[in-house]
Structures are given as C-alpha cells and as structure tokens.
Amino acid sequence: MNVNLGMKNVIEIPMKIFYAQKGVNSHKKVHWQVTQCPSQARVEESGYYIMKYMKDIIGTPINTIKDKFKEKDSYTQAELDEVRVEWAEVVDSYIQANEE
C-alpha cells in the first residue's frame, strides 16, 4: 500500500500522544487504506471538489463510509454549482455580520 508517510504521521503521532495522555497502554493500530475520490477535469475546480468531498464524508454514517470512497469518478456540474452557491451564502453571511 502506498500511503504518504507525512500524512500518516499527521494522524498517528497525535493518536499516540492522546493515548499516552489518557494513560491507555493498548489501543487499536490505525488501519490505512488507499482510497479513490472523484477527480476534477479542470484545476480551477479543485477547491469545490475538496469541499464537496468533505461534505459528503461528514454527512455519511460511519458504517457506510467505505462505500463513499468508491461512489463516483467525478461530480456533475450541478453538484459543483450547489457547493458554489452554499460557499457564496456562507461568505455573504460572514461579510454581512462583519459590516454591522
């Protein structure tokens, strides 16, 4: 399996620290699995792909998360537009709140 060592350490080192602070001597080792995610056709869409993918993962029950990684090769324009609108609404509400 080809797991990026830097990313692996970003997860495993804090987990070790957490368990040490809690006084837990035995814990389950993190099982790493290489997954596939939807890939964008154009580089300028990458941020929207990341936001959509994160939203999909967070909104998915943990028992079905593995299936989410295999679900699709790319997002439709409508799915990306939905993320764009949601992002714009959040930014607009932030701007409105800070103008008062």
Decide: 46 and 40 in contact? Cβ < 8 Å: yes
Task: Walk along the chain (100 residues) and give the pLDDT tens digit of each residue.
Answer: 577 788 888 888 888 888 889 888 766 777 777 777 777 777 777 788 888 888 887 877 766 666 666 667 788 889 999 999 999 999 999 898 888 6
- Ordered by start, the domain boundaries in the chain are 1-34, 39-99
Decide: 26 and 7 in contact? Cβ < 8 Å: no
* Distance in angstroms (rounded) separating the CA atoms of residues 51 and 83: 7
Write down the pTM of the prediction: 0.53
